[in-house]
Amino acid sequence: MTTDLFRLVYCSRNTIFADQCDPVAEIAKILAASRLNNARDGVTGALLYSDGCFAQVLEGGLDIVQRTFERIQRDTRHGDVIVLEARRTEARMFGMWDMALTEPADPIKAKAILGLALAEPNGDAGTTVVALLDGLVRREGDWANAA
């Protein structure tokens, strides 16, 4: 098993739950399952849901990120999956989080960034999305510390 640290960033669109069930409850379910798996596998990352789009960062060993991503790919609750970034990395950016769920601080900005990433996945989309999630996770960390 490789010990190389790998980071994968993708965006996708929610496909079913807007009309069929409560998105918040559904995301809570996704998150519970993903935290359970991730804690075991040493995967960290963050998930953002904003206006029908997901952005997720997965960090961990290449093998396990690969398996985790393949499992996510078979989930029919989302579609139009676009990989924004897939590369080896020196350090984790989301090392504190089994899978942080972030609320967009600025929903309009988040929507714009995800919309752009889905429409034009090349260029800086990966970096922009990681920065967005990183900013949101930090903000939540600050709140947690303040509390």
Q: What is the DSSP-derived secondary structure letter of residue 52?
A: T
Q: Based on CB atoms, which residue is closest to another protein, 19 or 70? A: 70
Distance CA 117, CA 72 (A): 19
**Number of residues this chain uses to bind another protein (CB under 8 A):** 25
Q: Based on CB atoms, which residue is closest to another protein, 86 or 140? A: 86
Distance CA 45, CA 37 (A): 12
Q: Are 45 and 57 in contact (CB under 8 A)?
A: yes
The pattern of x and - marking residues 61 through 100 that bind another protein according to CB under 8 A reads -xx-xxx-xxx-xx-x--x-xxx--xxx------------
Does 31 participate in binding another protein (rule CB under 8 A)?
no
Does 30 participate in binding another protein (rule CB under 8 A)?
no
The pattern of x and - marking residues 103 through 142 that bind another protein according to CB under 8 A reads ----------------------------------------
Residues 6+ apart with CB under 8 A from 27: 47, 49, 101
Per CB under 8 A, which of residues 33..52 are in contact with another protein? 36-37, 40
Distance CA 129, CA 47 (A): 11
CA angle 66, 68, 70 (to 5 degrees): 70
The footprint of another protein (CB under 8 A) covers 1, 6, 8, 10, 36-37, 40, 62-63, 65-67, 69-71, 73-74, 76, 79, 81-83, 86-88
